[in-house]
Amino acid sequence: MANFHLHYRLFPVAAFLLLLSFPLSFSHSQSDNEADQDSPVSRFQRYLRIKTAHPDPDYASAVAFLKSQALEIGLNARILEFVPGKPLLLVTWYGSNPSSPSILLNSHMDSVPAESSKWLHPPFSAVRTSDGRIFARGSQDDKCIAIQYLEAIRNLRSQNFVPARTIHISYVPDEEIGGFDGAAKFVQSKEFKELNVGFMMDEGQASPGDEFRVFYADRSPWGLIIKAKGTPGHGSRMYDNSAMENLMKSIEIMSRFRESQFEIVKAGEAANSEVISVNPVFVNAGIPSPTGFVMNMQPSEAEAGFDIRIPPTADPDAIRRRIVEEWAPARRNMTFQIIEKGPIRDYLGGPLMTMTNDSNPWWSVFKTAISEAGGKLSRPEILATTTDARFMRQMKIPVLGFSPMTNTPILLHDHNEFLRDSVFLRGIKVYESLISALSSFQEDVSSQ
């Protein structure tokens, strides 16, 4: 500081010019704090700065912020709570024909944790760099659509647009940990039934190319734990059907199945999300010792865990038979446990899928709205992961997973998750087109 004052006395003009240059040298993120606080991007940043990451998401602050935005726009907002401490915010824009099936836009408030040391910028600071990248956990998954819904409605209301169908926005908790205390309870509630939902949109994923991705189904997750038992004994002896031998046989058989599925993907015959994935996630065996494991003893029990993802086009009963007959047969002293993490069929026994053809009138409206917004759609996909959409599809409500992010790397759950401000702003325009088209659709689809 002393040197600065010395230079100022010697070179007052130069010092004055230097001072003038300071604001110009500020980063994009710094200037955001001082100007244009009332803009879609700044509101997006404010929402991103609310830390809703597990294991202790700040739902109260998220709900308070989103509710304030909804009320500012002139929308109705109410808080539902099916599990204590896990609020759900329901925002409503009433249509001129409230008896028609409504439109539901869904977004989850929670996010996965972030390892701060692995990020270029603090993951909950929502830093906006000079090239327009907004770094924050949840920027893609999926706080972007939460704000885009509201901003699109804000713009439509300013244009005096009046929807025919009522539009609801649900901001739900706990999607990242399964959604069982959030969307799952919501769809079973009387409050949900009263909404008379005819069509829903939920989150999708970014597209590295210039076409928007759209998802008509999710893969269903299973956890499989296989346990093997066998004769214990000295490490030097050879046994038939030892616990480790039986477990290794199962892992070998399952690996061959995994490879057969992977070969289909590598040959370009199917996408990763269209096959059954089987991935080992843990092995638990051996007799512990103070220095690790006892090396001259064969254990009497061994177990392994697998993450299995099943597309709606696969037969879950056939997979169960494969587990019983090949992967964990009782004849090899094996038992198993299947942990089904959510529904795998709708209430009529059909696959959890939304049609993307002429049998679904909403599909045509959706496609046209994207085109009118200047966008292009890629081939409809099955999402490789899982979203809250499965609980609505279980009720046979048509749902499309969609997040309007093109020319964007897929960074959900990754370090340095970001979204460009230009992509975010374009997404608002896309939702304006979608919301106006879907809410104006006149065909009676109550029996669909």
Active site residues per annotation: 110, 175
DSSP state of 431: H
Helix or strand or coil: residue 382? strand
- Tell me how far CA of residue 67 lies from CA of 77, 147, 317, in angstroms: 6, 11, 44
Are 377 and 211 a contacting pair, CB within 8 Å? Answer: yes
DSSP state of 330: G
Residue closest to 323 by CA, chosen among 336, 310, 307: 336
Whole-number Å distance between alpha carbons of 137 and 124: 6
Task: Provide CB contacts within 8 A for 247, sequence distance 6+.
Answer: 226, 228, 283, 285, 302, 303, 304, 334
Sign of the CA dihedral with 355 first, then 359, 362, and 363 last:
positive
User: Which helix or strand (DSSP H or E) is residue 42 part of?
Assistant: helix 40-48
Q: Give the alpha-carbon dihedral of 317, 318, 322, 325, to 10 degrees.
A: 70
Are 152 and 431 a contacting pair, CB within 8 Å? Answer: yes
- Tell me how far CA of residue 387 lies from CA of 10, 84, 170, 220, in angstroms: 65, 22, 14, 10
Whole-number Å distance between alpha carbons of 156 and 174: 30
Are 32 and 127 a contacting pair, CB within 8 Å? Answer: no
Phi, psi of 434, rounded to the nearest 5 degrees? -65, -50
Task: Provide CB contacts within 8 A for 161, sequence distance 6+.
Answer: 436
